[in-house]
Amino acid sequence: MGCSGCRVRVNFGKVLSKVSVFFTMVLIFTYFFYCLTGFCDSAPRTLYSQQALDSDYDILDDRRRVLDDLRPPPSPRLFPDAPSQRNRTASADAERVGQLPQQHLSDGAEESNGIPVSNTFGTKRFPQAIIIGVKKGGTRALLEFLRIHPDVRAVGAEPHFFDRFYDKGLEWYRNLMPRTLDGQITMEKTPSYFVTKEAPSRVCTMNCQTKLIVVVRDPVTRAVSDYTQTLSKNPGLPSFQSLALKNSSTGLIDTTWSAVRIGLYAKHLENWLQHFPLSHFLFVSGERLVSDPAGEMGRVQDFLGLKRVVSDKHFYFNQTKGFPCLKKPEGSSRPRCLGKSKGRPHPQIPSEVLQRLRDFYRPFNHRFYQMSGQDFGWD
């Protein structure tokens, strides 16, 4: 009897052990089944993890803006969404190759203190507003000032889609845009659009409701600035007067030279007005963008339907460079100014050459004043 009782207890223990193992396996199998079918994601989270999830959106969005505002001038990087651009190194001249610098890429990973930060919030949209001109007018300054605004997201480099890369297609162009949330505006700037004959119809094909911003500057000063930039890259360039004048004795202006041709604002605007009404344009004074940046930025924000966030408190005048810079952002060790290529000293141009140019541009300037409804006071 004693031994029989022992066997019963031993058998009962084995049965209990097997039942426990069986139920454990059932639980494990059920868990993996639900995870594989996605039901785990709907399971209730702890208070801590739910709060972390809710705050990730704000943290990443704020971090993205801080990175955009505080990083030094861009270093080239590959396009994240254009397969044809992969496995190519970006040129240092982003304008020449139409590729985006690192801090303005909107997909993939951005880095903060060496730690990758995923950025997948929002949607890539076609730009609702484009800075279309003009070269050496102040477009880079305007874009950098606009990037302070929390409701503006902009491509950093010049995409050159509507003048150089149109054959790549609108989807390629859209993939270059940063991700935006509801209420935010997508923007880009490529100053050569204003002087490209095909650009107006191409932009209208994308969206005829696009808002267009043109930063203009005294065409004589603009031409000298344009020449100065080219001279810095090509020291062997002929003199300004030899390029600007067809014949020094007659004083005829050579309008085939791009530095002169760009300043014929009225002619370029006529081309754009064939596709867009004047109400879709905002003409920003490059001179006032230097002398009164907050005032001009107020007009720009109104035109874009934005709250006036960018104001006097964001600027200080840099005496060395001769133009306004952004005050030191919180967490940054220094103020933020445009690069060394901005504010170059201009070469000495004979006064009679400059006067010939002023006389040449005067009727075109007056025509532009009439068309735009603004007197920029260049004469």
The pLDDT score that the predictor gives to residue 45 is: 40
Q: Which entry of 136, 211, 267, 307 is annotated as an active-site residue? A: 136
Residue 344's SS3 state is coil
Strands 129-133 and 211-216 turn out to be parallel
Q: Is 20 annotated as a binding residue?
A: no
pTM across the whole model: 0.69
Q: Which residues pair with 316 in a beta bridge?
A: 325
The pLDDT score that the predictor gives to residue 248 is: 81
Q: Which residues pair with 323 in a beta bridge?
A: 318
Strand ranges, E, within the chain: 109-112, 115-118, 123-124, 129-133, 152-154, 179-180, 185-189, 211-216, 245-247, 252-253, 281-285, 315-318, 323-326
The pLDDT score that the predictor gives to residue 238 is: 96
pLDDT tens digit string along 38-89? Answer: 444 434 343 333 333 333 334 334 444 434 444 444 433 333 333 333 333 3
The pLDDT score that the predictor gives to residue 46 is: 37
Q: What is the CA radius of gyration of the chain?
A: 30
Sequence letter at residue 66: V
Q: Is 136 a catalytic residue?
A: yes
The fold of the 123-220+261-341 domain, in CATH, is Rossmann fold (3.40.50)
Q: How far apart are CA 15 and CA 19, in angstroms?
A: 6
Ranges of the chain whose pLDDT falls below 70: 1-16, 31-119, 328-336, 338-343
The pLDDT score that the predictor gives to residue 320 is: 77
Q: Is 135 annotated as a binding residue?
A: no
The pLDDT score that the predictor gives to residue 249 is: 83
Domain ranges of the chain: 123-220+261-341
> DSSP letter at 46?
P
Q: Is 210 annotated as a binding residue?
A: no
User: 201 CB contacts (<8 Å, ≥6 apart)?
Assistant: 275
Q: Which residues pair with 23 in a beta bridge?
A: none
The pLDDT score that the predictor gives to residue 22 is: 78
Q: Is 45 annotated as a binding residue?
A: no
User: 135 CB contacts (<8 Å, ≥6 apart)?
Assistant: 191, 192, 195, 222, 226, 262
